[in-house]
Amino acid sequence: MSDPGRGFVNEVKDAVTGRAALLVIGVLLLQLGFITSYIGALHQPEPHRLSIGVVAPTAAAQQQAIGALDQVPNEAVHATPVSDQQSAVHQIKDQQLYAALLVNPDGTQDTLLIASARGKSAATAAQSIVTAVEQHQGRTVQVQDVAPLAGGDANGLSSFYLVVGWCVGGYLVASILGISAGARPANHARALIRIAVLALYSIVAGLGGVLIAGPILNALPGSILGLWGVGTLVVFSVGTFTMALECLFDVVGIGVAVLIFVVLGNPSAGGVFPPPLLPPFWRAIGPWLPNGAGTSATRSIAYLGGTRLTMPLLVLVAWAVVGVAVSLLAVHSRSRGGRMTVAPPERD
């Protein structure tokens, strides 16, 4: 029971410590940041330099079509010449273009090649822009999807949600290990054990996610081994980096991990809207975070023949290397700071 003579203010000071008050304020800021980031990134998608190739029978017709697309306001389109239809399809599947316009020399109906697998909203934006431009010129357009989505992935979000699940597992397991056994491992051996646990967890979590998204729910096609490898990298990179943040900032590191991987990482990942439809800040950071790199790699393996994998994989590896290195350096710093890990030899 509380002591009536101590007063309400003193009771509050005992019940809510200064450290707890700072953590509560931090949570409030994190919550407001979450709202700002998600609404800021996703509330009003507008295309910016959406790459559309143009195939035409003559150079003059090609330049005319490119000029009409480039006149779309706010730099919504980045139109480029393409030699022929085969090259256009190749560049779309190689993730160099989001769409391609094939100008018909013998009629008024042209063809727009799109790739729903690269982002349904990008395909819709390309179709809307090209249709409006064609109508202005008295022409019509038919749409051909050269990289369609799987039947169980109607909105093309399965790869994104799979990566979100992997990221959640990565920072949660690292947080649990830190809370249960101390934010910073006591010595190098324990740090290496914790990293090994994260690696084992990553392997199991990567495979589990692929099996659920693929054979069990039939929501995502592609190589099981390839997707498993990406999933393992995503979980491990997020987990080790969260471990590093805990080593540096104690429990506050968990909040920093949430800021990076949830508040910033998810809306910028290109899952709901691909990069050309995101505002500049989220478009810039997305490819460099594990969420965006993982989504890009997963989508590529599932639908695009594994094209453009090098950069996303290097991003994931970099996050993992930094996480492991910082964690080990933090343990080394702690050992040199006064906590002896080996007893000194006795004097004669």
10 Å CB burial of residue 273 (0-12, 13-18, 19+) is: buried
* Domain chopping of the chain, boundaries: 50-145, 158-336
Distance of CA 127 to the CA centre of its chain: 25
CA-to-CA separations, 212 to 17, 118, 162, 207, 228, in angstroms, rounded: 44, 22, 9, 9, 11
* Sequence-ordered list of residues with C-beta below 8 angstroms from that of 87, at least 6 positions apart, any chain: 55
Q: Are 265 and 166 in contact (CB under 8 A)?
A: no
121 and 273 Cβ atoms separated by less than 8 Å = yes
Question: Does pTM top 0.85 for this prediction?
Answer: yes
Structure confidence at residue 149 (pLDDT): 95
Give the pLDDT confidence score for residue 331 in this predicted structure. 85
Residue type, 293: A
The pLDDT value recorded for residue 15 is 64
One-letter amino acid of 69: L
pLDDT score for 335: 55
Answer yes or no: CATH 3.40.1710.10 is held by domain 50-145.
yes
Which pLDDT score is estimated for 345?
A: 42
Residue matched to tokens 């690292």:
174
Confidence at residue 17, expressed as pLDDT on a 0 to 100 scale: 76
The CB-side HSE value for 251 (13 A sphere, CA atoms) comes to 10
Ordered mean pLDDT values, 10 residues apiece, the chain (348 residues): 59 69 89 95 95 96 95 95 96 97 94 96 96 95 96 94 98 92 81 95 98 96 97 98 95 94 97 95 97 98 96 98 95 57 40
Burial of 143 (0-12, 13-18, 19+ CB in 10 A): middle
Query: Given this model, what pLDDT does residue 342 score?
Result: 36
Q: What is the reported pLDDT for 336?
A: 54
What is the C-alpha separation between 318 and 191, in angstroms, rounded?
19
Q: What is the pLDDT of residue 187?
A: 83
Backbone phi and psi for residue 95, each to the nearest 5 degrees, phi listed first: 65, 30
